[in-house]
Structures are given as C-alpha cells and as structure tokens.
C-alpha cells in the first residue's frame, strides 16, 4: 500500500527536529573551532589583539590562553600600519609577494579568516628557508592592498604581476629590482659593486653609448634636423 502522502508530515516534522538539533549544535561547534584556531595562532606567535580580531573570542578568553600555552603573556606591540618595514629591502618585498599569492589562493577556499592566515603562514614557512615576515607582518600584507597603500601591477621588465607601492618612474617587481641591483639595466652585464656613492643603473659601456646617442640627437636638433 502506498503511504508516501500520509507519511510526509511525519517526515517533515522529523526533518525540522533534526534541523533544530543541528542549529543548536552549531554554536558550540563554532566556539570549539574558534578556540582551536586561537590556540593555533597563539602557538604561531600572534598577539592577543590579532587573535581576538580573527576568532571573535573575547580579550579575557584569549589572554587566558597565553600562560598555559607559552608560559608568558601575549607578546607586546601593535599590528603594523605602514609599509615602511616592507620597503627596507627587495627580499622583504619578495616575501610579501609570496604571502600575497598564498592569500589570493586560500581566500577562495571559504575558510574562516583565522584559518586562512594559519594556512598561509604555514605554507610560507614551508616555501622559504629563512622567513623574514612574522605572522603579524604576513597578516598585514593583504591589508596594504585593501587600504590602497599598495596595488597589483605588472613589472615593466618581466611582465609578472606583483604588489607594491605605485612608482612614478616605471614599474619594477622586487625580483627584477634585486637582479638589476648588480646588473646593467640596458645590457644585463654584471656590474662591480660599489659600497659608497649612488648606484649606477647602466654599465659604463651602455652609459657611453647612450651619451653618444644623446649628443648626436642634440646636434641634429641644433642643425635643424627633426
Ligand atoms: Zn620583474
Ligand atoms: Zn650595459
């Protein structure tokens, strides 16, 4: 005998009960997940303010995690609010770009903000031999883009997309900037390293060649040739 129709209200009622139970269970599960993520972040060296921001846990709860987990209170200091530290070297900028690409990839996975940062930082530590960015510095990299201090741009030399501050005299990625620190920008020849004085952009051969061209053009203009 077909009883599908008469069974339906019973089935729907059971489904509703199950949904209510699931909804009732989600909150403690979220709490547990947030606490586990907080523990992970504390172990990775995050400061209490950042842990609170990412997990939504209270200052009191997060502050209480440090003594049993690290034997010390939360590390002092603030989240950076300028890019000064990152701009001190091409290596720092390169590392910031590694972190940026990892964020781009992991932010699409639907994870929580805390989980994204944990995964980004763990991947970063695996990729680089000598990490330069702390967890806090890594966290601040995408913020530099969202506050428009940095933007995504293409390098004039290698065409790779990277993030950094906008420059008025052309775009150069940190890898090319590091490469051209020791090489002629025109012919690529290795140049001698001079500790003192202004760093030269081109080698002496290219400099002479460019001077000759400039002189030649100047003479043509003086003589009335376009
Ligand atoms: Zn480049
Ligand atoms: Zn050259």
Q: Which ligand sits nearest to residue 94's alpha carbon?
A: 1
Q: What percent of the chain has pLDDT over 90?
A: 57
Q: Residue 211 falls within a domain, yes or no?
A: no
Task: Determine the pLDDT at residue 3.
Answer: 45
Do 104 and 58 lie in one domain? The reply is no
Distance 174 CA to ligand 1 centre (A): 7
Q: Residue 161 falls within a domain, yes or no?
A: yes
Task: Determine the pLDDT at residue 181.
Answer: 84
Do 61 and 92 lie in one domain? The reply is no
Distance 29 CA to ligand 2 centre (A): 63
| Helix residue ranges, H only, the chain | 4-43, 48-55, 59-70, 90-106, 113-127, 135-146, 174-180, 204-222
Number of domains in the chain: 2
Under 8 Å between Cβ of 34 and 26: no
Do 116 and 168 lie in one domain? The reply is yes
Name the average pLDDT for the chain: 87
- Residue that wins the pLDDT comparison between 197 and 92: 92
Q: Which ligand sits nearest to residue 159's alpha carbon?
A: 1
Single pTM value for the model? 0.75
State the distance between the two ends of the chain, measured CA to CA, in whole angstroms. 99
- Residue that wins the pLDDT comparison between 56 and 188: 56
Task: Determine the pLDDT at residue 170.
Answer: 87
- In tens, the pLDDT along 4-31 reads 445 555 555 666 666 666 666 778 888 8
Range(s) of the domain holding residue 162: 86-180
Mean pLDDT within 128-152? 96
Do 28 and 90 lie in one domain? The reply is no
Distance 19 CA to ligand 2 centre (A): 71
pLDDT value at 192 more than 80: no
Task: Determine the pLDDT at residue 2.
Answer: 47
Distance 180 CA to ligand 1 centre (A): 10
Do 129 and 170 lie in one domain? The reply is yes
End residue of a domain, out of 163, 180, 197? 180
DSSP state at residue 73: -
Closest listed residue to residue 93, CA positions, set 164, 35, 144, 150: 164
DSSP state at residue 89: -
Q: Residue 196 falls within a domain, yes or no?
A: no
Q: Which residues, including other chains, have CB under 8 Å from residue 135's CB and lie 6 or more apart?
A: 41, 44, 45, 46, 50, 117, 121
Q: Which ligand sits nearest to residue 172's alpha carbon?
A: 1
Q: Which ligand sits nearest to residue 210's alpha carbon?
A: 2
**Least confident among 162-166, 209-213, 219-223:** 219-223
Do 45 and 121 lie in one domain? The reply is no
Distance 191 CA to ligand 2 centre (A): 9
Question: Hunting for tokens 């547990």 — which residue is that?
Answer: 32
């Amino acid at each position: 005998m077909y009883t599908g129709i008469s069974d339906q209200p019973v089935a729907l009622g059971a489904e509703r009960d199950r949904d209510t139970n699931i909804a009732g269970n989600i909150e403690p599960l979220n709490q547990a997940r947030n606490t586990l993520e907080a523990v992970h972040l504390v172990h990775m060296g995050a400061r209490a303010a950042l842990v609170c921001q990412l997990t939504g846990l209270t200052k009191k709860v997060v502050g209480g995690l440090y003594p049993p987990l690290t034997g010390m209170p939360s590390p002092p200091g603030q989240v950076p609010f300028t890019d000064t530290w990152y701009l001190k070297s091409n290596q720092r900028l390169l590392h910031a770009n590694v972190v940026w690409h990892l964020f781009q990839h992991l932010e699409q996975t639907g994870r929580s903000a805390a989980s994204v940062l944990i995964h980004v930082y763990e991947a970063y530590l695996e990729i680089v031999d000598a990490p330069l960015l702390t967890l806090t510095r890594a966290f601040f990299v995408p913020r530099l883009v969202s506050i428009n201090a940095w933007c995504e741009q293409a390098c004039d030399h290698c065409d790779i997309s990277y993030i950094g501050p906008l420059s008025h005299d052309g775009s150069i990625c940190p890898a090319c900037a590091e490469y051209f620190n020791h090489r002629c920008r025109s012919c690529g020849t290795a140049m001698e390293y001079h500790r003192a004085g202004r760093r030269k952009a081109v080698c002496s051969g290219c400099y002479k060649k460019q001077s000759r061209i400039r002189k030649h053009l100047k003479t043509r203009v003086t003589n009335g040739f376009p």
